[in-house]
Amino acid sequence: MHLFHPCCRSNSGCPGSEMPLMGEDPVTQWVNALQSHSLSLDGAWEFSLAGQSGSILTPGVWEAQGYARRVEGPAVYRRTLAVPADWQGMRVQLQFDALSYHVEARLNDVMVGEHTGMWTAFAFDVTDVIRPGLDNLLELTVYKPGERFPMRESLAGFLPDVCIPFGGIWGRARLSAFPGAALSDLWLLPDAGTGRVHVEAAAHGAQGMNAVVRLFDPAGREAAIWLGAVEAGAVHADLTVQMPRLWSPDDPALYTVELRLESGGAAQALLRRTFGFRTLSSDGDQLLYNGQPAILRGILNWGWYPETLCPAPDEAAIRDEFRRVRSLGYNLIKLCLVVPSPRYFEIADEEGMFLWLELPMWLPHVTERLEQQAPMEYADILARVHAHPSVVIYSLGCELDAEVNADLLSRLNGILRSRTSGVLACDNSGSGEAYGGLGFDFADFNDYHFYCDLHYFTPLVDHFRRDWRPPRPWIFGEFCDADDYRDLEEIAAASGGALPWWLIEKNPIHSLQVLGYPLQGERMRQLDTLGFSGQDLQHIARQQSFVIRKTILEKVRGRSGMGGYVVTGLRDTPLATSSMFDDLGRIKYDADAFRAFNAESVLVLEQGRRRLWKRGGDRPAPVDRFNLTAGTSVDYRIVLAHAGADLPGGDLRWRLLDGDGGAAARGVCPVEGPLVGGAPREIASFGFSAPEAAGEYALEVEFGALRNRWALWVYPAASALTASVAWHDPGGVLGDLGDGKDSALDLSRGGFAALTDHLLVTSAPDPAVIDYVRGGGRAILLQTGPGYLPALPRPFWRESIKLIYAHPVWEGFPHRGYADQQFYHLATDYALDSTALSAALPDLRAATPILRRLDARQFMLTDYLVELRVGEGVALASTLRFAGGAGDQVSGLSASPAGRHLLGQMVSYLSPGK
């Protein structure tokens, strides 16, 4: 009888076991494509869990319909197997391709083994307890991560945070019988540069046999052969392919290794496996794929497949996923803390989809058990996936903090590097320095997870970029999220009238104060005066998220040393709506428009740089690239970010289109070729005078097959402040006030006694200001942080949907009903607490929203711009940064055409006589 203890990988016996292990390799699946027999265990099993009995189909997982009813186990699977009589005398294995998380197996009431782990294949030797020719009772006792096996010690990855720690037989299972020799533990290490292939395998029952290893090219022709003896139960072979055909997304060329055991000239065992020649490497900070400059454009996959509740989509779903991902310009999928079924990797090999495999260590509680389990489980995962050419990047874990020590990471890094070839790797996706972990790393590239508002992205990149470090590429392991809005009525209608349980029940891992999705329906019903339907909100959210993705990705492509990125994420989940595909599987964006900035070669809009002299020294002077003042001169640079084959020169054509599609300006710029791949480069520059007619325009640029388009907004040259405006800015928050400053009444050092028929503009609302309004005054209350008006810290672009309400202040401020680049230099870190305004202003008669923030995770409202009727007066209150000043925003009102114009509209609306 065999008792497999999870800390063992040998047949020398287990600590604490009462019986010796039997079999040559009790945890590795044997293979023999010539002489083996198999009995599938897929299908119906008797099943019991938490006092309930019934049946269950495998592959699959058990999950009660709801978090509150989920049980970690024990779940008991039973099945009676009719084993063929001719299996008598054969070596028999009970094989599982994947099972979560811990199983104790009994055959005919005899314990045959136990296994711990979610992601890997394993086997038990049942030769001595199987009864050929008779019925055999197989019983499995299964636990998923929970109390007995704590989740954070179990390498359960991120799926428990997304929804559930799944449990059950989620891979294929079988009984396999071997009459003679068999093979296992095949390792392939191809070298694309030399054509050399190192092959290793374990040979069972092969004493005195010879081995023949053949390599076949993608056309099925023999490319190399090796003959030798089986020594010490193993095969070690080195072969060389002359001028190997390289695997790539455009040409996913797969070779085949065939390993055959022979005796007396007759074949006794056979194993085949496909592989490819490829190399992901770097030269300084330039990422190279097969020796050529490359840009990895990835999407984050958490392994959420609601149809299966485990990462085992069927073949049609996998191929459809790859097709749709490619349609958006992506060439890589990052498997974030998840190891999907083997077919996923095989199809990626066949279709030329790059994969980044992130091994499943997330927020671990590092105990002695985890320190023992992680090296074994990582080695088993790598044994399963290492030969797939589609896997070009590995990471050992995600956002690991000080809980994970250097010794453990060093051991895992050694396992990874000894078992892979032609790949890049990092120990900690997101970096230890960013998450309180190690101050050094075992990485081949820089990997950061910058989830930030648009205007903080460039400063973040500059902050983490250090020229005194050895150069290496940047590959953002995950970033660029942008929340969507779920239309629950639409989802319910598509789901037979009811929402799936994971959208209405609370995941115990997450606080409702962090993620309020289970309360969405209730909270949105309370906002009955919102004025937007679910479809309206969905449309606004998707338009806004498109702007966010485009802005961030173009910022990345315009910088040198950027090897790639992974955008969050693939599909909507119970945890997040930041994705390319919604809950109904639909692509959220126009694919052609998305590829314009997410492709091998893209055009990026840039400008020169400026500085200003302020308070006795030079300072950076950012320019608003997308908001223009009528009649001013504008100059642009077009940057080509290109990877791949050289591009020829030609003419770059640009057009400035008005709202009717007419050309307000146009031009042609000759571009010299050839244009080699690598660092981004300026290929053209042009300028024009901003049109006199205010409104929204579009700048279109074409170069060969490359196209891109940017919205521009032109505002009148009128001053924001006039002689009837009183300026109250004691803290100097507004900065310069443009041409109107000299004619405005400055109250920064005095009270309000001088006010008669003036409009008050203040950056410091206080009781005196409110008293002025209460008595019949008019005021613009600008508060960009904590202050007298109740305000809450909130990101502007992230986690929210901006709602623009019809109001006279928007006249002459063009918009399409969502926040676009007009708001880049207005974006703020605070929003007015709508629910607390009444308490702060007891005589508030009415509050009319103008620009609101709907929290996309909590479904609560705050205000960025609101009209307040207080006592006998009226005020416009706002937290917007009209003068910029945050991140890489402009500095000063005069440098902010959008801010200056919107403030001018507010002044005009409240001016006496209006």
Question: Which DSSP symbol is given to 895?
Answer: G
For the segment 262-318, what is each residue's pLDDT rounded down to a tens digit?
Answer: 999 899 999 999 999 999 999 999 999 999 999 999 999 999 999 999 999 999 999
Model confidence at 461: pLDDT above 60: yes
Does residue 396 have a pLDDT over 60?
A: yes
Rounded distance, CA 872 to CA 368, Å?
70
Decide if 878 contacts 827 (C-beta within 8 A): no
Q: Which of 423, 482, 425 is nearest to 451 (CA)?
A: 482
Q: Which amino acid is at 158?
A: F
- Describe the crossing of helices 406-418 and 368-385 by its angle, rounded to 10 degrees: 20
Task: Please give the mean pLDDT across all residues of the chain.
Answer: 92
State how far the Cα of 897 lies from the Cα of 627, in Å rounded to an integer: 6
Report residue 417: phi and psi, to 5°. Answer: -70, -25
Place of tokens 């994947």: 98
* Predicted pLDDT at 724: 78
User: Once rounded to an integer, what is the mean pLDDT over residues 122-132?
Assistant: 97
Q: Does residue 93 surpass a pLDDT of 50?
A: yes
What is the percent of the chain with per-residue pLDDT over 90, rounded to a whole number?
86
Backbone CA torsion sign across 894, 895, 901, 906:
negative
Relative orientation angle of helices 534-557 and 454-464, to the nearest 10 degrees: 30
Instruction: Look at residue 913 in the predicted model and tell me its pLDDT.
Output: 64
pLDDT over 50 at 4, yes or no: no
The answer to whether 687 touches 633, Cβ cutoff 8 Å, is yes
- Describe the chain by its helix, strand, coil percentages, rounded to 5: 20, 35, 45
Higher-pLDDT residue of 22, 271: 271
Residue type present at position 382: L
Is the pLDDT score of 42 beyond 70? yes
Q: What is the DSSP letter of 246?
A: B
In three-state secondary structure terms, 159 is helix
Half-sphere exposure of 791 (CA within 13 A, CB side): 24
Are 394 and 336 in contact by the 8 Å Cβ rule? The answer is: no
More confident residue, 748 or 634: 634
Written as six digits, the tokens of 216 are 């076949």
Question: What's the gap between Cα 478 and its chain centre?
Answer: 5
Residue closest to 592 by CA, chosen among 454, 696, 708, 514: 708
Confidence of residue 18 (pLDDT cuts 50, 70, 90): very low
Could you say which DSSP state residue 758 is in? P
Task: For residue 133, give both structure tokens.
Answer: 């020719």
Residue 300 makes CB contacts below 8 A (sequence gap 6+) with: 334, 336, 478, 566, 567, 568, 569, 570
Total length of the chain: 914
Backbone angles phi, psi at 229, to 5 degrees: -90, 150
> Taking a C-beta distance cutoff of 8 angstroms, is the pair 560, 897 a contact?
no
Handedness of CA 820, 824, 825, 828 (dihedral sign): positive
Residue 752 pLDDT grade (very low, low, confident, very high; cuts 50, 70, 90)? low
pLDDT one-digit tens code per residue, 345-374? 999 999 999 999 999 999 999 999 999 999
Return the pLDDT at 812.
85
Tokens of 226: 């090796």
CB 256 within 8 A of CB 170: no
Identity of the amino acid at 430: G
Q: What is the pLDDT of residues 753-788, one digit of tens each?
A: 566 678 999 999 999 999 999 999 999 999 999 999
How much is the pLDDT for 717?
Answer: 87
**Pseudo-torsion of CA 523, 526, 528, 530, nearest 10°?**
-50
CA dist 578 and 689 (Å) reads 38
- Predicted local distance difference test score (pLDDT) of residue 719: 58
- DSSP, residue by residue, 42-89: -EEEEEEETTEEEEEEES--B--SSGGG-----EEEEEEEE--GGGTT
Task: Kindly report the three-state secondary structure assignment for every residue of 421-450.
Answer: CCCEEECCECCCCCCCCCCCCCCCCECCCC
Q: Express each pLDDT in 193-205 by its tens digit.
A: 999 999 999 999 9
Q: Kindly give, in sequence order, each residue whose CB lies less than 8 Å from that of residue 88, ignoring residues fewer than 6 positions away.
A: 132, 133
Amino acid of residue 825: H
Instruction: With 0.85 as the threshold, say if the pTM is over it.
Output: yes
> Is the confidence at residue 3, as pLDDT, over 70?
no
Strands 633-642 and 601-606: antiparallel
Cα gap 198→224, rounded to integer Å: 12
Whether 751 contacts 730, CB under 8 Å: no
Residue type, position 33, single letter: A
What is the residue-wise DSSP string for 552-571?
A: HHHHHHTSTTEEEEEES-SB
Range with lowest mean pLDDT among 1-10, 639-648, 882-891: 1-10
CA–CA gap between residue 214 and residue 199 (Å, rounded): 10
> CB under 8 Å to 757, separation ≥6 — which residues?
724, 912
- Within 8 A by CB and 6+ apart from 231, the residues are none
pLDDT value at residue 182: 97
Tell me, what's the pLDDT at 914?
58
Strand partners, 44: 57
**pLDDT tops 80 at residue 7:** no
User: Cα-flanking dihedrals φ and ψ of residue 756, to 5°?
Assistant: -120, -85
The full DSSP string for 863-891 is: EEEEEEEETTEEEEEE---TTB-STT--B
CA dihedral over 88, 90, 91, 94, signed as positive or negative: negative
Q: What is the DSSP string of 659-715?
A: TTS-EEEEEEEEE-S-B-SSS-EEEEEEEEEPPSS-EEEEEEEEETTEEEEEEEEEE
**d(C-alpha 833, C-alpha 847), whole Å:** 12
Per the DSSP assignment, residues forming a β-bridge with 793 are: 830
Q: Note the pLDDT of residue 26.
A: 41
Average pLDDT over residues 879-888: 96
pLDDT-based confidence at 132, cuts 50/70/90? very high
Q: Give the mean model confidence (pLDDT) for residues 495-516.
A: 90
Alpha carbon distance 526, 212 (integer Å): 73
From the list 766, 726, 764, the residue with the least C-alpha distance to 746 is 726
Q: pLDDT of 564-614, one tens digit each?
A: 999 999 999 999 999 999 999 999 999 999 999 999 999 999 999 999 888
DSSP 886: S
Using 50, 70 and 90 to split pLDDT, how confident is the model at 732? confident
Pairing of the two strands 474-479 and 296-301: unpaired
Whole-angstrom Cα distance, residue 308 to residue 385? Answer: 22
- The arithmetic mean of pLDDT across residues 438-443, rounded, is 94
Question: What is the band of 644 on the pLDDT scale with cuts at 50, 70, 90?
Answer: confident
- Residue whose tokens read 């896997």: 391
**Tokens (6 digits) for 151:** 């989740």
More confident residue, 16 or 502: 502
CA angle 85, 86, 87 (to 5 degrees): 90
DSSP 8-state assignment for residue 468: T
Amino acid at 842: P
For the chain, percent of residues with pLDDT exceeding 70: 93
| Gap between the Cα atoms of 166 and 515, Å rounded | 21
The answer to whether residues 116 and 88 touch, using CB atoms and an 8 Å cutoff, is no
- 409: pLDDT strictly greater than 80: yes
For residue 875, list its beta bridge partners: 779, 868
Answer whether residue 740 shows pLDDT above 60: no
Q: Is 9's pLDDT higher than 60?
A: no
β-pairing, 210-216 with 222-229? antiparallel
Name, in order, each residue with C-beta under 8 angstroms of 886's C-beta and a sequence gap of 6 or more.
455, 456, 827, 828, 829
Q: Give the CA angle between residues 463, 468, 469 to the nearest 5°.
A: 85
The one-letter amino acid at 514: V
778-782 and 873-878 strand pairing: parallel
